[in-house]
Structure 1
Amino acid sequence: MVEFFAQLRARGASFRLSKGAFHRISAILTVLILIVIFSVASPAFSSTNNAMTILLQTSVIGMLGIGLTLVIITGGIDLSVGSVLALAGTVTGLVIKAGVPVLPAMFIGVAVGALCGLINGFVVTKMRITPFVATLGMMMMARGVALELTGAAPVSRLGESFSILGQGRLFRIVGEGPHGLPSVVFPGIPYPAILLLLVALSVAYLLRRRATGRHIYATGSNEEAARLAGVKVDRTKIIAYTLSGALAGLAGIVLMSRLGTAQPNEGVMYELDAIAAAVIGGASLMGGVGTIGGTIIGAFIIGILRNGLNMAGVSSFIQQIIIGFVVIVAVYIDQMRNRR
């Protein structure tokens, strides 16, 4: 078993130094090119306010993408994260309306997401149902539960304390403008962006420094070899799906807090953006390959694309076409990389 992990680390190191490093560099260059193009097209794009807006908008997709990266590395997929996001946010809102303090209510929301992920992992590993079908079923059930609990109506009047996480900012500076009116000197770093950084660092540490992370990579690289080496493959997959569900729950709370209301219809198609972020960032749908840093870069590529196209007046339908094309190109590049 020791030799197996030593060989796995050696192969992983070699891969990261060649193909992995090249992929991350190309993704960063893509971000820089997009920034230059949109800055030329609209001077307002490069403003500090818009940069903070992109950080805020990217945080939710980034959290979903991190959870999906764990699942994709194991060789699976999770189509339910958008619906789990809505369910967790809705449950949090309902619990707050019932009189529970905001912080415990948010923990309950994350727990609901983790429970959905745990069920996904159980169905995939114990019932031997393919991840696509298992998570597709959870996608439908979670959305249905959210709509049933709320009667398809938003849960509002949750109080100002609920909105602090999604709307608060760190280092916000307000000065005195013309005629004595307040003027924003620096809009501040959104709390969701800071939370995304903490989540990314924690999960990256899990993948790089903990045995669970090595097991996740081993399971996706060669499940049978990992099992023979003593890895508890089913347990590893369940952990990955549970973490994906928990992060979807956290993303749901952040999104609902930003909106100020719990919307059961939120999160539609978010799973596709999250998958796109992971794939653009270098995660292989074949399993065994992927990094948190790459996923964050992929999330920013999508966020910058959406923001820049919005500022350019491009319709949301055309945006979907463009992002879909980007995903196809990213998957094609991944397939070519695997063949070589």
Structure 2
Amino acid sequence: MTERQKDLIQKFAAFGGLVILVIVFSITSPAFFTVGNGLTVALQVTSIAILGIGATCVIITGGIDLSVGSILALSGVVAALAVKNGGFPVWLGMFVGILVGTLCGFINGIAVTRLRLPPFIATLGMMMVARGVALQITGARAVSGLGEGFGVLGNGALFRVERIGDDGFPNVTFPGIPYPVVLMIVLAIVVSLMLTRTVLGRHIYSVGSNAEAARLSGVNVTRVTLFTYMLSGTMAGLTGCILMSRLVTGQPNEGIMYELDAIASAVIGGTSLIGGVGTISGTAIGAFVIGIMRNGLNMNGVSAFTQQIIIGLVILLTVWIDQLRNRR
């Protein structure tokens, strides 16, 4: 059995699990399988999926990024402060926030490639630094008073249909596709094409499979690794802007434990923690598995603590299966 066949089996196993979850929750909760709840789940999944896209590229190279939750918070509050205190237009403030995320990813990459720090330690340090900076520049308080324009990215929707009723108030005929969902789809397609159809993508896989062999083959391992950490930081910065836009406030405590969700979505979708194996489509499936599981358990009245136990067991089972696959 080839590696590609193994990857397909892993991906279809995750997709099969996703279908089973949808069927089970549709039976146990009549409100689950509705258009409104479907859009809600998609909106909730966007953060996990976008972070997972960056995490997948890093993990494929054999690394790990534990800092994305903190980078998310720092980028979001920087965007909020740029709009409120700096007088920046909303789009420019969010662009600055995304740049901050990219810079943090660049620092992670330099620490891993130039300083030769283990990825776990380098990104753990960034996780603490970014969170501390976010709390410091905000005084550990939420940044509010950002105006309605700041909430368009997180709360707007494409193809939204409204009609004015007889009472003079707008009635929503179709809620539309939320902008974060559109961004998630576009980013997933672009990064997937980058991994599968470009030289850079092949180099990312080769670095994860065998970094020394890739170097001897002429691959610039340092530059490729640095790119993946910068991409992860950029995805975290964008996610931070989306989340702060949804809240219409800058929350320095946002994004706690999000890095684990991102890694979990990648692993559930078939990305191997030893590197060299992984797909964006698999990560998207993994993100929906986590999102649908949480949504369905909420609808069935399962406590948040029990949800953590269940999701943790799913992650352990998935990693164990991945280890068995690698041994064979």
TM-score bracket, shorter-length normalisation: over 0.9
Q: 1:178 to 1:306 in 2, by over 3 A?
A: farther
Q: Identity of aligned pairs, percent?
A: 60
Query: In the alignment, does 2:153 pair up with 1:165?
Result: yes
Query: In the alignment, does 2:92 pair up with 1:85?
Result: no
Q: CA–CA distance in 2 between the matches of 1:250 and 1:169?
A: 17
Cα deviation 1:119-156 (Å, max 9, x = unaligned): 00000111111000100000000000000000010111
SS of 1:203's partner is helix
1:131 corresponds to which residue?
119
Q: CA–CA distance in 1 between the matches of 2:170 and 2:203?
A: 54
SS of 1:45's partner is coil
SS of 1:46's partner is coil
Q: 1:210 to 1:50 in 2, by over 3 A?
A: same
Q: Which moved more, 1:197-206 or 1:87-96?
A: 197-206
Q: Give the aligned residue type for 1:71.
A: V
Query: In the alignment, does 2:59 pair up with 1:72?
Result: yes
Q: CA–CA distance in 1 between the matches of 2:163 and 2:96?
A: 39
| Match of residue 26, structure 2, among 21, 39, 62 | 39
How does 1:50-69 map onto structure 2 within 5 Å? 50-69=37-56
Cα deviation 1:178-230 (Å, max 9, x = unaligned): 87764333221110000001111111111112211111100000011001111
SS of 2:32's partner is helix
Query: In the alignment, does 2:139 pair up with 1:151?
Result: yes
Q: 1:178 to 1:20 in 2, by over 3 A?
A: farther
| Match of residue 203, structure 1, among 179, 186, 191 | 191
1:231 corresponds to which residue?
219
Q: Give the aligned residue type for 1:32.
A: V
Q: CA–CA distance in 2 between the matches of 1:104 and 1:202?
A: 23
Shift of 1:316: 1.2
Shift of 1:174: 2.9
Q: CA–CA distance in 1 between the matches of 2:29 and 2:159?
A: 27
Q: CA–CA distance in 2 between the matches of 1:105 and 1:215?
A: 34
SS of 1:106's partner is helix
Shift of 1:266: 0.2
Cα deviation 1:70-99 (Å, max 9, x = unaligned): 000000000000000000001000000120
How does 1:16-35 map onto structure 2 within 5 Å? 16=4, 18-35=5-22
Shift of 1:176: 6.1
Give the alignment's Cα RMSD to 1 decimal: 1.4
Q: 1:328 to 1:99 in 2, by over 3 A?
A: same
Q: How many residues align?
A: 327
Q: CA–CA distance in 2 between the matches of 1:127 and 1:69?
A: 23
Q: Give the aligned residue type for 1:120.
A: N
Q: Which moved more, 1:81-90 or 1:184-193?
A: 184-193
| Match of residue 297, structure 1, among 270, 273, 285 | 285
1:214 corresponds to which residue?
202
Q: 1:302 to 1:178 in 2, by over 3 A?
A: farther
Q: CA–CA distance in 2 between the matches of 1:125 and 1:33?
A: 42
| Match of residue 262, structure 2, among 274, 292, 302 | 274
Q: 1:20 to 1:178 in 2, by over 3 A?
A: farther
1:99 corresponds to which residue?
87
Shift of 1:27: 1.2
Q: 1:227 to 1:171 in 2, by over 3 A?
A: same
Q: Give the aligned residue type for 2:80.
A: G
Cα deviation 1:45-74 (Å, max 9, x = unaligned): 111100000010000110000000000000
Unaligned residue ranges in structure 2 (runs of 5+): none
Q: CA–CA distance in 1 between the matches of 2:159 and 2:283?
A: 27
Q: Give the aligned residue type for 2:69.
A: G
Q: Which moved more, 1:279-288 or 1:169-178?
A: 169-178
Q: CA–CA distance in 2 between the matches of 1:104 and 1:22?
A: 44
Q: CA–CA distance in 2 between the matches of 1:116 and 1:329?
A: 32
Q: CA–CA distance in 1 between the matches of 2:181 and 2:54?
A: 16
1:328 corresponds to which residue?
316
2:252 corresponds to which residue?
264
Unaligned residue ranges in structure 1 (runs of 5+): 1-10
1:8 corresponds to which residue?
none
SS of 2:144's partner is coil
